[in-house]
Chains A and B, each alone.
Chain A
């Protein structure tokens, strides 16, 4: 009924885009140069309406505890999951990261975890549950298990789904209604994002990592600078990044407002994926690599926006305020609202400095911290833990802190490498895997008024707990802050060390 009414309202649907689709595999004489997002979009477009909305086919759907609204919506309609084999559940947001063996004391938090378990069981969805040896943060587990692959369209009810774009996938966060839609239909209505290329050329210095590049980009374009855009990261400094680094970068694209971030797949990508549990095997893998190699943007393809940065000019960066674009090189000073001519901006600066309890113009390295957190889908992979451990080895943290590996798999690997010992000997707590203190909803919160140097992605007011003050930075910089007791430049601490 409803449908007849809507279709009767004069909106025509251009149903047939098959021709356009075929042109991807069988190039026509036109051979229009295409970007990575163009290619990904085209290969997933089922139909396009004349108002620009297209129905896209979804290849992977990750769900977590927060997806309960969507399961309820699905049940209200008496529907079931359309593609069980492409839907995967992960417990991450609410799981305990300390004393996991004792179970979950808070009944409301326990209910969030058991609710997902029940929904997954009922829908026959594979779940990486609390006791699964592969459990971890969804954006760590997906890639690690080889579920995230180049060329795929990946969605999850979480904004940092952009992380998976590191593989050359079209990956983005969606809300509960869209999650419900994907559960029921394995498709999604979307409007094509604009194309933005962010090139980081040159080589970055020792002590400068993907997180610094990400924060430098966000500071340059602004927290909403990439709104409505699919970002493709390119350039020598990006190519040189490991998959872990690329994931950190794509993870943070949402903090620049981007719909998604992506890096064209290359040998680094293929080497990472080979042998992963769910990745294609043998000949299938070779065929896949062939297809994936064709995804890179054509050399003369056009972007709607281009931004270029020089990696050489990027120093280790920290945030001082309450949005991720409040980011400055560590040798800088907090802003002074008195010197800001724009009154709206001046008020913002005053409010942010007030919340953060930082005096105007204060030298960043003089800001004392109360605790540190190493974790989250941004920076908790093995390479991140190694980078922090390289600074902490043989040193002691002046403040308490928590280290939560991104997955139970990462945790085991770190323990095999002896990294857990380094963290413990430095006085930090070695915890289990989950979202933990990134968002604090499992109970791991930064206390009100406390200042935390954190490897996470959001320094919003109250993000790590009501009244918490967050400074974002790389794992190496968090380690430097830990051993210094204040925000600090990691570079001098690295001299003579293997990094």
Chain B
């Protein structure tokens, strides 16, 4: 997994609350293999109107924000469906960090497994940051995971992230490798566990 320590990039403001994973990646694109690259259909139905034309008022359609790597969003970003492909779509489009007041639990877990930082900033700070980045689309903003701060213009905002996720991002850990180091313990635990709970093994139908 790619590490995340610090990033300086443009911020695309998408000031909507409850941007659930159905909005991030509509279900009909879930069939796509990762190799196809899901960035092209990120936020598809918000970006494009029913006639297939790009909506001019959608921030991600603005040329200056097309290569933004940081997304600023409203509360409860990524709620809903567990589809990890929503994270792939953000990542494939070039996003490495989403700043929002809160995130869907499963989305946040999926994000960290793919090197996408979910930075929790208070609602007031998000509202404060939004005009700065809207009015200065080219402004480079720095997200520092070690210090847990976002430096935006002349202000520094603290952000929160679950310590487990922070560890994993800073170190670029691979979960499977880590788990493998406990192989013997797992085997012992599960043997012991199943002796005490014979009913956990499915009965023959």
Q: How far is the CA of A79 from the CA of B174 in the complex (A)?
A: 15
Asked, given contacts A25-B196, A175-B84, A441-B28, whether A47 binds B185 with beta carbons under 8 Å apart, the answer is yes
Give the residues in chain B near A149, CB-CB below 8 Å.
Answer: 199-200
Q: Give a binary string over A236-261; 1 marks a CB under 8 Å from any B CB, 0 the rest.
A: 00000000000000000010010100
Give the residues in chain B near A145, CB-CB below 8 Å.
Answer: 205
Within 8 Å of chain B (Cβ to Cβ): is A272? no
Within 8 Å of chain A (Cβ to Cβ): is B87? yes
Is A185 within 8 A of B186, CB to CB?
yes
Give the residues in chain B near A460, CB-CB below 8 Å.
Answer: 20, 22-23, 80
With both beta carbons as reference points, the residue of chain A lying nearest to B109 in the complex is identified as A175
Q: Give a binary string over B12-35; 1 marks a CB under 8 Å from any A CB, 0 the rest.
A: 000001101011001110110110
In the complex, how many residues of chain B place their beta carbon closer than 8 angstroms to a beta carbon of chain A?
Answer: 63
Within 8 Å of chain B (Cβ to Cβ): is A451? no
The interface stretch among B54-62, B64-72, B143-151, B176-184 is B176-184
Is A6 within 8 A of B189, CB to CB?
no
CB distance from B71 to the nearest CB of A (A): 18
Q: How far is the CA of A63 from the CA of B81 in the complex (A)?
A: 15
CB distance from A105 to the nearest CB of B (A): 15
Is B45 within 8 A of A466, CB to CB?
yes
Asked, given contacts A185-B180, A257-B76, whether A57 binds B190 with beta carbons under 8 Å apart, the answer is yes
Residue of B84, B87, B105, B110 touching A257 (CB-CB under 8 A): B105
CB distance from A214 to the nearest CB of B (A): 16
Is B110 within 8 A of A175, CB to CB?
yes
**Contacting residues of chain A (66-100) with chain B, CB-CB under 8 angstroms:** 66, 68-69, 72, 77, 79, 85-86
Asked, given contacts A53-B164, A175-B109, whether A284 binds B205 with beta carbons under 8 Å apart, the answer is no
Give the residues in chain A near B85, CB-CB below 8 Å.
Answer: 69, 176
Within 8 Å of chain B (Cβ to Cβ): is A59? yes
CB distance from A486 to the nearest CB of B (A): 25
Give the residues in chain A near B186, CB-CB below 8 Å.
Answer: 46, 55, 57, 185-187
Is B27 within 8 A of A439, CB to CB?
yes
**Contacting residues of chain B (93-119) with chain A, CB-CB under 8 angstroms:** 102-106, 109-110, 113-114
Asked, given contacts A46-B185, A175-B113, A224-B102, whether A291 binds B27 with beta carbons under 8 Å apart, the answer is no
CB distance from A115 to the nearest CB of B (A): 9
With both beta carbons as reference points, the residue of chain B lying nearest to A326 in the complex is identified as B18
Within 8 Å of chain A (Cβ to Cβ): is B63? no
Q: How far is the CA of A47 from the CA of B174 in the complex (A)?
A: 17
Give the residues in chain B near A279, CB-CB below 8 Å.
Answer: 203
Residue of A186, A284, A467 touching B199 (CB-CB under 8 A): A284
Give the residues in chain B near A448, CB-CB below 8 Å.
Answer: 50
CB distance from A251 to the nearest CB of B (A): 13
Residue of B75, B175, B190 touching A224 (CB-CB under 8 A): B75
Q: How far is the CA of A111 from the CA of B30 in the complex (A)?
A: 13
Within 8 Å of chain B (Cβ to Cβ): is A121? no
Give the residues in chain A near B173, CB-CB below 8 Å.
Answer: 2, 6
Is B171 within 8 A of A9, CB to CB?
yes
Sorting the interface of chain A by its residue count into under 10, 10 to 19, 20 to 34 or 35 or more gives: 35 or more
Within 8 Å of chain B (Cβ to Cβ): is A174? yes
Q: How far is the CA of A457 from the CA of B102 in the complex (A)?
A: 21
Asked, given contacts A176-B85, A441-B30, whether A191 binds B164 with beta carbons under 8 Å apart, the answer is yes
CB distance from A93 to the nearest CB of B (A): 8
CB distance from B33 to the nearest CB of A (A): 8
Within 8 Å of chain A (Cβ to Cβ): is B79? yes
Within 8 Å of chain B (Cβ to Cβ): is A288? yes
CB distance from B122 to the nearest CB of A (A): 14
Asked, given contacts A280-B199, A441-B28, whether A224 binds B176 with beta carbons under 8 Å apart, the answer is no
CB distance from A315 to the nearest CB of B (A): 25
The interface stretch among A27-35, A150-158, A196-204, A297-305 is A150-158
Give the residues in chain B near A458, CB-CB below 8 Å.
Answer: 20, 22, 80-81
Within 8 Å of chain B (Cβ to Cβ): is A124? no
**Contacting residues of chain A (1-58) with chain B, CB-CB under 8 angstroms:** 2-3, 5-7, 9, 11, 15, 25, 43-44, 46-47, 49, 51-53, 55, 57
CB distance from A7 to the nearest CB of B (A): 7
Give the residues in chain B near A44, CB-CB below 8 Å.
Answer: 193
Within 8 Å of chain B (Cβ to Cβ): is A287? yes
- List 17 A–B pairs whose Cβ atoms lie within 8 Å, in order of A's numbering: A2-B174, A3-B180, A25-B196, A52-B163, A55-B186, A174-B106, A175-B87, A191-B162, A191-B164, A227-B76, A277-B205, A322-B18, A458-B20, A458-B80, A458-B81, A461-B45, A462-B45
Interface residues of B (CB under 8 A from A): 17-18, 20, 22-23, 26-28, 30-31, 33-34, 45, 50, 74-76, 79-85, 87, 102-106, 109-110, 113-114, 162-164, 167, 171, 173-182, 185-186, 189-190, 193, 196-203, 205
A72-B34, A172-B106, A277-B205 are known contacts; what are 7 more A-B pairs with Cβ within 8 Å? A15-B182, A51-B163, A51-B164, A178-B113, A181-B175, A223-B76, A462-B26
